[in-house]
A = this chain, B = another copy of it.
Amino acid sequence: VSDRLVIALDAMGGDRAPEVVIDGAEIARERFPNISFLMFGDQPRLEPLVQAHPKLAAVTEYRHTTEVVSGEDKPSIALRSARQSSMRLAINSVRDGDASCVVSAGNTGALMAIAKFVLKTLPGIHRPAITTYYPTMRGESCMLDLGANVQCDAENLVQFAVMGEVFARNVLGVKNPSIGILNVGAENLKGNEAVRKASIMLKESTLPIKFHGFIEGDDIGAGVVDVVVTDGFTGNIALKTYEGTAKMFGVFLKRALSESFMSKFGAWLASSALQKFKMQVDPRLYNGAMFLGLNGICIKSHGGTDALGFSNAIHVAVEMITHSFNEAIKEDYAQLSGHDKTMQEAVGS
């Protein structure tokens, strides 16, 4: 297990754990032959499930624990008391260098609180943020924050802009990513104080980043910018609205196509195209939210995803390690934050 990439899995987190975690790990193993797993959880329960996949069993080590953080646990309580939980121990293993990253489908708030406490934030970053990428009409974009910070000031938003820029460049592979701040209108006077001030700070800074200005909700799906910056309250609601609308659209389409013999036959003829279309917006292929700004890589899977979805969260983790994301963010961030005075104040360096 020497030149292998070790991934810590919180095997007990998520609605259908540990089954979905183990089946997801098996799919990811097929995709990335060089990964191995540290699996945290109830070993007597995990082992027979893992043994069903001999090749997975060969690259899995167990770390037994019976304590579990539940979906209902308050983050502060989970942080203080669940010290032997599968989630906590998995995060510890990243801090201790036993694993390169951690993937969990457990309680988001608890995962963020514990990861922040155990791994600490990167230099100059006050608050970590949650991001993910998603399909748009123009390709893929990312949005942050998605819920780590319910209330944000202008300085937080500016830090998110910088972290998002580094993410889009290093993980999404966009050469010169454009940044937009989510608002209720494009005009300077629109919105609350935080977005107005953040916009002025980004406009006035001499940072080498492409600041587009304000964008609106419909610009998310249009892919007007590569990085959408917003507070965690609005971002969480916007991303879930996006997901829910896509789901609704899919249901409407399915209903319509199953209405008559003619439409069913037409749908059958177009089935390969419809399949491709479905793949394009399949939320499982975009599962995996990244915690940015931490001294270690931590990926949150949707709690309700299936094995394919969970495997994609592992995929995201592999991508971030392969692209040395945290080294890149540290370097770029230091360079950017040293760039001008406004930014030095904003990033507190």
**Residues on A close to B: CB < 8 A?**
72, 74, 135-137, 147, 150-151, 182-184, 187, 189, 191-192, 216-222, 230, 232-234, 236-253, 255-257, 259-260, 262-263, 265-274, 276-277, 280-281
User: Which among B137, B151, B234, B243 is the interface contact of A237 at CB below 8 angstroms?
Assistant: B234
Contacts of A252 in B (CB 8 A): 135, 137, 277, 280-281
User: Which among B220, B244, B266 is the interface contact of A273 at CB below 8 angstroms?
Assistant: B266
Task: List 30 interface pairs A-B (beta carbons < 8 Å), by A numbering.
Answer: A135-B248, A147-B184, A150-B184, A183-B237, A184-B232, A184-B233, A191-B233, A192-B233, A217-B236, A217-B239, A217-B243, A218-B240, A220-B245, A221-B245, A230-B237, A234-B234, A238-B241, A245-B245, A252-B277, A252-B280, A253-B277, A257-B274, A259-B273, A260-B272, A262-B273, A263-B273, A265-B269, A265-B270, A266-B267, A266-B269
Q: Report the nearest B residue to A254, measured CB to CB.
A: B277
Contacts of A187 in B (CB 8 A): 72
In contact, B217 and A240 (Cβ under 8 angstroms): yes
In contact, B277 and A256 (Cβ under 8 angstroms): yes
Q: How many copies does the complex hold?
A: 2
In contact, A222 and B237 (Cβ under 8 angstroms): no
Q: How far is the CA of A145 from the CA of B277 in the complex (A)?
A: 34
In contact, A276 and B248 (Cβ under 8 angstroms): no
User: Which among B74, B147, B244, B271 is the interface contact of A221 at CB below 8 angstroms?
Assistant: B244
In contact, B243 and A218 (Cβ under 8 angstroms): yes
Contacts of A247 in B (CB 8 A): 218, 221-222
In contact, A241 and B220 (Cβ under 8 angstroms): yes
Q: Report the nearest B residue to A273, measured CB to CB.
A: B263
CB distance from A213 to the nearest CB of B (A): 15
Q: How far is the CA of A136 from the CA of B251 in the complex (A)?
A: 10
CB distance from A228 to the nearest CB of B (A): 10
Q: Report the nearest B residue to A267, measured CB to CB.
A: B270
CB distance from A237 to the nearest CB of B (A): 4
Q: How far is the CA of A74 from the CA of B191 in the complex (A)?
A: 13
Contacts of A272 in B (CB 8 A): 260, 262-263
In contact, B151 and A192 (Cβ under 8 angstroms): yes
Contacts of A232 in B (CB 8 A): 184
